[in-house]
Amino acid sequence: MQKIRSNKLKGFVGILCICFLWSCDFSNSAAEDLSAQIIPEPKTMKVGEGRFEFNKNTKIIVPDSLKSVAEILTGKFETAAGWKFEFVSKKPETNYLIFDIDQELGEESYRLQADKNSVEIKASALPGFIYGVQSLRQLLPIEIEADSLQNIAWQIPEVTISDSPQYSYRGSHLDVSRHFFGKEYIKKHLDRMAFFKLNTFHFHLVDDQGWRIEIKKYPKLTEVGGFRVNQEDKHWNARTENDPEEEATYGGFYTQKDIKEIVAYAQEKGIRVIPEIEMPAHVMSAIAAYPWLSCKEEPIGVPSGGVWPITAIYCAGKESTFDFQEDVLREVMELFPGEYIHVGGDEATKTNWETCPDCQGRIKEEGLAGTDELQSYFMKRIEKFLNENDKTLIGWDEILEGGLPKKATVMSWRGTEGGWEASKQGHDVIMTPVSHMYFDYYQGSPDNEPVAFNAFTPLHQVYDFSPILDSMSVKQKEHILGAQANLWSEYVATEAHSEYMLFPRLAALAEVVWSPEEKLDWEKFSVRIRKMMDRFEIMGINYAKSAYAVQPESEIDLETGEITIALQSEFPDTEIRYAKGDSELTAASEIYKTPIKIDSSSNVKAAVFENGELMGAVSDKAYTFHKAVGKPVSYEYQYDDNYKGGEETGLVDVLKGSKYFKDGRWQGWINNPAIITIDLEDTTEVSEVVVGSLEEQGTGIYFPQELVVEVSKDNKDFEEVAKVERNYQPNPAAKIENFEISFEPRKDVQFVRVSIQPLAKTPKGGNAWLFLDEIQVK
């Protein structure tokens, strides 16, 4: 795991409260501790020694226009305390919360002041008041999130907060095309965005695998494009092409009434909603509904899984294509009142344009250099239409190719280079690079995580991101609007999984785009996010504890036969405990201080504990010593240069691979079988061979189809002692299997040859990869 760079945390003081019925005394250090749980970190915050306590007689003074903001808090009290606060027009002498308009503050700025008598929130506009309420909410005990009555003192520290955002664009993206999520979940997500002061929801409504927004002029977009054949039992990238006549039952869509409801709900939370209507690629759902939109005009089915390359795209040569786009966008613009419309523009493979008479005619007619400029023409024409309707086009960074539309905003995803170039050209930029902002990536070891895209974005990596690059000029930096986290849903089929991928990483993004750069400190954030996880529990969020997970790093000295195991977790200063062999891992197990050493077969279990409680997943690694450890290995067909884990000794070094096929432990073959001979260097008795293999069908890695074991005394005459055959089975997730091949004991064996045949063909007709990590000889 990447080492965490941070300043040393100088100290952390816990809360010590002695509560009697409804009262609790706060020391100043306790108040500071309570205030330190706000995420994102406020710009300035001063904590006093006193406290304010809400009770059933607390009064609320708020303008009618802001009553809905006050109700964010009062609704929580009504549920958790059973109090229905009285709204009054005249300020009492004490025991009140007041909302005061201050036009000198920016639209998203607020001031929060609390003393023993009252609480005051000042802002100039709805967003600022919402953010003030969210900070006040986070100052309250976490039981304020409960859905039942709590017997607790509802106190906050005496505090003065002056706060405003670092960036104007603070975004969260949800892909509802690959897997559909209902409007109630979207509203729940908007609530959580507001909780962390995020202000932009990017609504990815259109992609190859589903069209999710009702367009009245083109009803088949949702009737046909909104549904696909159910292949959810297979890995996303192993799903096969659908016949357009096959019954499609999996999917869903939002009616225009649903969309209006979502947009209105977001506005109440201070959140703008940006729809994404993909073009010219990622539109197979539209072409399935209306084949005339493509160059070939052939019927296709809505794909159930991954498609690459994406060649079925809109025809840029036919005028009817642009009529369709404008018709669709007119209805979309009526539903989304904000400034921006996102039109995609990414990953278009233009091979059909190269042979399409209409596209080639357009290129000649417009004097374009080729298909890249044809896509630029497409985007510029759409931008002109949007600009005429007072909208601004946003596109992924591919819209740079062939020339940017004049007023377009660029969303830089393939790294930060696109954002750098767009800002140099004077265009606004939203940074959302795959390296830090793709939340469909794993956040911990795949061994302990639900299926995800095969890459990593751990919590600290999100927190380490800066939307602005040091190499940018002052003028370029002015064009960086902010950053956005993207949750693509190829592998995310349920609400619980979606929450798991979003939290706590979304909180880290929120702090990066809100708090001043000088306030960002990973170790201090690590303390606050762990407190926030307690709040997540009460809020019912299915958050990930991946940052607690212990990551073992193992090395073997083949000369001495000793393995050294180092343990670490992503959070700093954690209490890691471990147990070896059959010993149970408990809060009383040995505390990890220095690397563990073993020289015989053993399991090593490890986990983080806090206050005697197990935090996160238990790491349980088996280290099995066997007769072939460190012995010479020869290969009839060499492993692939890209997957040569451990090289010559990699299959006999005890160290096993994880479910992440790029972890450096796996050896891979394609187009050839793996035929491996191990020289035991002396004759011995052999009765079992165990072959460790990985399957990840989405990346083309499959379990072997056949395994044959042969033994020999002289490396010339081999006797076949066992054969195992395995038929293909669909598998939607990564899986490791140890193929145990037992046979009658053979004496005087020095050479063991294992011949492993890969799956003949994948379900899509390609060649299958074969991945091995260890061959044990017993």
CB 446 within 8 A of CB 659: yes
* ω into 309 cis (within 30 of 0): yes
- In one-letter notation, the amino acid at residue 770 is L
Provide the 3-class DSSP secondary structure of residue 589: coil
- In one-letter notation, the amino acid at residue 64 is D
CB 216 within 8 A of CB 331: yes
CB 758 within 8 A of CB 769: yes
Task: Report d(CA 602, CA 584) in Å as an integer.
Answer: 13
Residue from 71, 261, 347, 421 carrying the catalytic annotation: 347
- Can 626 be counted among the known catalytic residues? no
Closest CA to 207 of 442, 501, 490: 490
Q: Is 434 exposed, middle or buried (0-12, 13-18, 19+ CB in 10 A)?
A: middle
CB 698 within 8 A of CB 238: yes
Task: Report d(CA 168, CA 163) in Å as an integer.
Answer: 14
Cα 343 from chain centroid? 22
Residue from 282, 342, 436, 497 carrying the catalytic annotation: 282
Q: Is 687 exposed, middle or buried (0-12, 13-18, 19+ CB in 10 A)?
A: middle
- In one-letter notation, the amino acid at residue 82 is G
CB 259 within 8 A of CB 213: yes
How many Å from the N-terminal Cα to the C-terminal Cα in the chain? Answer: 33
- Can 173 be counted among the known catalytic residues? no
- Can 282 be counted among the known catalytic residues? yes
Task: Report d(CA 286, CA 289) in Å as an integer.
Answer: 5
Residue 395: its H or E element: strand 392-396
CB 228 within 8 A of CB 242: yes
Site of tokens 């092409």 = 241
Task: Report d(CA 174, CA 118) in Å as an integer.
Answer: 39
Residue from 108, 207, 383, 398 carrying the catalytic annotation: 207
Count of CB atoms situated within 10 Å of the CB of 32: 18
Provide the 3-class DSSP secondary structure of residue 541: coil
Strand blocks (E) in 339-476: 340-344, 392-396, 409-412, 429-431, 441-442, 453-456
Task: Report d(CA 752, CA 628) in Å as an integer.
Answer: 9
CB 443 within 8 A of CB 546: yes
**φ and ψ of 669, to 5 deg:** -130, 145
CB 158 within 8 A of CB 34: no
Whole-Å CA distances, 9 to 12, 35, 663: 8, 17, 31
Q: What is the largest CA-CA distance in the chain?
A: 100
Task: Report d(CA 687, CA 778) in Å as an integer.
Answer: 6
Closest CA to 462 of 522, 552, 543: 522
Task: Report d(CA 734, CA 731) in Å as an integer.
Answer: 8
Whole-Å CA distances, 321 to 297, 331, 637, 645: 12, 16, 52, 50
- Count helices and strands (H / E) in the chain: 18, 37
Q: Which tokens in the block code for residue 325?
A: 């786009």
Count of CB atoms situated within 10 Å of the CB of 764: 14
Task: Report d(CA 170, CA 190) in Å as an integer.
Answer: 13
Q: Which residues are catalytic?
A: 207, 282, 347
